[in-house]
Amino acid sequence: MHLFLEHRIDYYCNVTFQDFINVYEAINHDLWHLYSLKQTTKEELRYQRFHKAFLHYNYENLELAHHWADDYLKISPYKTHLIDGAIDVLMYLQTKYQLHIITNGFKEVQHIKLDYSNLKSYFEYVIISEEHGFNKPDIKIFDLAQNLTQAQHHECVMIGDNFDTDIIGALNAKWKAIYLSNIQKEYLHANFTQINQLIKLKELL
């Protein structure tokens, strides 16, 4: 929020912070989807999410978009807010399963996030797609994870909040998939389950 206030986006775009964030998040989601399909680059994603949000309010400032892209990557990894119940669920799951992460997130951010959120100790492998050349939902990243962990298809469960990358990718890899979302998804598949609260994993697993 301090970038929004520092650069007077409320004035230049005539918008509240929450309305701006709603627009930004929709644009960011679409760009990450394109990135997962390799239809845009990391560099374009970094600044275009801000540039497109500015343009939505008829504010043309490409230089500021690049500035925000740099500052966002410096600031965001140190934000440590977690989903409600995250630590409780991780402590529960760690006693029963091997836990790993597959992420399309930028490599310069992921390990810092895990360290500052005190999450790294819960996970054995952190598989960052950028380091391997293929993104979720590409089946290759799921096959890589399965090979690294020496697991079988029926032993693998993906828990994710992105239906297109996490869930479809896992189902295509013949894994089970648990979709975390408040928006009900009508999707029929034997290996698909949806929850609306993370804590409900303790009832499923």
Name the residue ranges covered by the structural domains of the chain. Answer: 2-78, 86-204
Region of 150 on the Ramachandran plot (φ > 0 left; ψ -120 to 50 alpha; else beta): left
Find all residues with CB under 8 Å of 199, minimum gap 6, and list them.
84, 85, 88, 89
pLDDT given at position 165? 96
pLDDT given at position 1? 76
Same fold, 2-78 and 86-204: no
Label residue 129 exposed, middle or buried (CB < 10 Å: 0-12, 13-18, 19+).
buried
Find all residues with CB under 8 Å of 201, minimum gap 6, and list them.
89, 92, 93, 159, 178, 195
Given CATH 3.40.50.1000, say whether it is the number of domain 86-204: yes
pLDDT given at position 149? 96
- The tens digit of pLDDT for each residue in 55-77 reads 999 999 999 999 999 998 888 88
The whole-model pTM stands at 0.89
pLDDT given at position 2? 76
- The tens digit of pLDDT for each residue in 151-164 reads 999 999 999 999 99
Given CATH 3.30.70.260, say whether it is the number of domain 2-78: no
One-letter amino acid for residue 77 of the chain = P
Furthest CA-CA distance within the chain: 55
Q: Flag residues of the chain having pLDDT under 50.
A: none
